[in-house]
Structure 1
Amino acid sequence: MKFHKQLIGILLGASLFYSCEKTINPQLESAAPMLVVDAWLNNKVEDQLVKLSWSQSYLDNEVPPGVSGATVTVRYDGGEIAFTEDADTPGTYRWVATDATSKDVFGTIGRRYTLTVKVGEETYQATSRINRTVPIDSITFTYDENDPQYPDNSYTAEFWATDAVGKGDTYWIRGYKNKVALLKPSEITVAYDAGFSGGGNFDGVTFLPPLRSVNPDEQDADDKQLSPYEPGDSVYVEIHSITLEAYNFLNEVIVQTDRPGGFGELFSTPLSNVSTNIVNTDSNGRKALGFFNVSAVSGMGKKLKE
């Protein structure tokens, strides 16, 4: 009996591996397009953008179409600002910031904002609170001859900052190499206080490694890992304050998009739409996707000397 059980196990395993090699052409159900709102605003002195598009089928690899002709506003306790659609970029709505206006509109920690988007006969809203961020103390480069994650003789970078005292701060840590944002799923970093989640007790301490690492995930033509930095490269780091809902949203984005494929995908979390704070004011109206958040931002840069 034991032999038969082992044989059955071997045959099932062989069948499983064989089936993984078959070409599958899934027939996915079509669904009506949904509004997608990309509204990550901040207190930096730069133009603030709200991007609207329509959702697409999972296997559609074309650029999502922008949504033109919408009305986009942000209301706060001091007034309301209107976003104007770019003439040459359908679906991109812009508010032009200056030193004075940025400080007045997005310079108050604790202020609440309401985004309103009107598309045709439907109105969507979302709210966000601007939370505190923390300053970056320094950035350091490290030369390592035997780092197992990177090739021999690699340079890596990390920032040093301390979480504010008081539990519950959430952050999006954004890195740039040579002014190019690091936005691959493997490069997205979010923090709860100075740790990875609310389950830890990392309030008011230095951000943990690898949260403070700011290293691009780059490979050569043979898919071999490259050294994150070479002499002459620059790194820039920003710490964006985000709401707890935005922290959860970004964690879901990481789970849904950082999928290397292979046999391990059999046991991965199934693909699904991530959470959203965009709500149709008509409970019977079409749903929306995306997120609205307003951040306070601190930043620092450094160049790896030749």
Structure 2
Amino acid sequence: MKYKTLYIITVSILSLGILNSCTERIDIELEQEYTRLAVEGYITPGGSTFQYIHLTTTAGYFSNEAPPLVSGATVTVEDGTNIFLFDEDKNYPGYYLAPFNFEGAIEKTYQLKIDLAEEIAGEKHFEASETMPSLSADIDSTRAVYIPERGRWAIEFYGYDPPGPNFYMFNGLRNGTLLTDTVWKMTVTDDKLFDGNYVYGAYVMVLDSSELKPSDQFTLVTSSITEEYYIFIIELQTEISMNIPLFSGPPANVSTNLNKGAVGYFAAFSSDFTETIVPER
């Protein structure tokens, strides 16, 4: 499916009372979109609570409703030795949860297999695979620093990045509640600027003053991710952001590790949790 971005701008012309403004309605015809399977999946070493597969379908460009959930599918994950069935949550249709005896392991390759109850875009079987990288950084600590001139909190990272290409994802929790609850808020980066060196207080996240208060416990979640997942996040953030310049063309389709035209990503990553107490401003 080709993604289309529609730009509509309203220009007000002030002419010192000489000219009158006028408007004209323009009807734009868009090609009929077809439905695709959308997948959001995570495998981590954190136990079944943090591991699930979320299935929906894509929605039309102008749709104001949440994407329809995909229920009744058979979802399995294989690790080369065992096959694990992810059962659908009875209270949250479309979410398929890992069994209690399943826990991700670093450097293992996981294969996701999805068999739908009904076809989507003429397909019922979809697959993806991902290898969980080991946690690369040797993390010492994190610190929250208030920036008065910006009215925001900067989160500093202290730790050693080993030589070689590494890719990181950063998320944050305030008193146990996730702050980076959308893809736009999370941070991903490569290590080109500090490869093989100690990272002394690099800003990895910036938060509004309302998001953190003195005496809060802030937890920085540092995850080692694959290069492919890093690219996916960058492309997805670009896709949902405002294009600059205004009339720039739409970005290319967001990459995926799923087959048969499905969108989304099946990710496997390991994480480290570093805590700090937010100081006074």
Distance 1:294 1:86 in 2: 21
Q: Decide which of 205, 208, 213 is 2:204's aligned counterpart.
A: 213
Distance 1:35 1:205 in 2: 42
Q: Decide which of 127, 130, 133 is 1:131's aligned counterpart.
A: 133
What SS does structure 2 have at the residue aligned with 1:265? coil
Distance 1:50 1:79 in 2: 18
**What letter matches 1:114 in structure 2?**
Q
Map of 1:89-238 to 2, 5 A cutoff? 89-97=92-100, 101-102=102-103, 106-107=104-105, 109-119=106-116, 120=118, 122-133=124-135, 134-145=137-148, 147=149, 150-151=150-151, 155-165=153-163, 167-178=164-175, 179-184=177-182, 186-192=184-190, 194=191, 200=192, 202-207=194-199, 212-216=203-207, 218=208, 226=209, 229-238=212-221
What SS does structure 1 have at the residue aligned with 2:96? strand
- Structure 2 residue ranges without an equivalent (≥5): 1-10, 14-20
TM-score (norm 2): 0.79
- Structure 1 residue ranges without an equivalent (≥5): 1-15, 195-199, 219-225, 281-286
Q: Residue 73 of structure 1 contacts residue 116 of structure 1 at CA under 8 Å; is this kept in 2?
A: yes
Which has the larger share of helix?
A: 1
Q: Residue 42 of structure 1 contacts residue 295 of structure 1 at CA under 8 Å; is this kept in 2?
A: yes
Distance 2:272 2:89 in 1: 28
Distance 1:26 1:162 in 2: 53
Q: Residue 159 of structure 2 contacts residue 200 of structure 2 at CA under 8 Å; is this kept in 1?
A: no
Task: Return closer, same or farther for 1:248/1:232 CA change in 2, 3 Å cut-off.
Answer: same
Q: Residue 76 of structure 2 contacts residue 114 of structure 2 at CA under 8 Å; is this kept in 1?
A: yes
What SS does structure 2 have at the residue aligned with 1:93? strand
Distance 2:199 2:141 in 1: 12
Counterpart in 1 of 2:7? Answer: none
Paired residues in the alignment total: 255
Counterpart in 1 of 2:16? Answer: none
Which has the larger share of strand?
A: 2
**What letter matches 1:240 in structure 2?**
S
Deviations 1:84-135 (A, max 9, x none): 001121111001446xx42xxx22x321111001113621111100101134
Query: Structure 1 residues 200-209 or 40-49, which shifts more?
Result: 200-209
Counterpart in 2 of 1:292? Answer: 266
Q: Does 1:69 align with 2:72?
A: yes
Determine what percentage of the aligned residue pairs are the same residue.
Answer: 26
Deviations 1:140-181 (A, max 9, x none): 122444x3xx23xx543323222222x122121122234123
Distance 2:187 2:220 in 1: 11
Q: Residue 137 of structure 1 contacts residue 161 of structure 1 at CA under 8 Å; is this kept in 2?
A: yes
Distance 1:247 1:143 in 2: 28
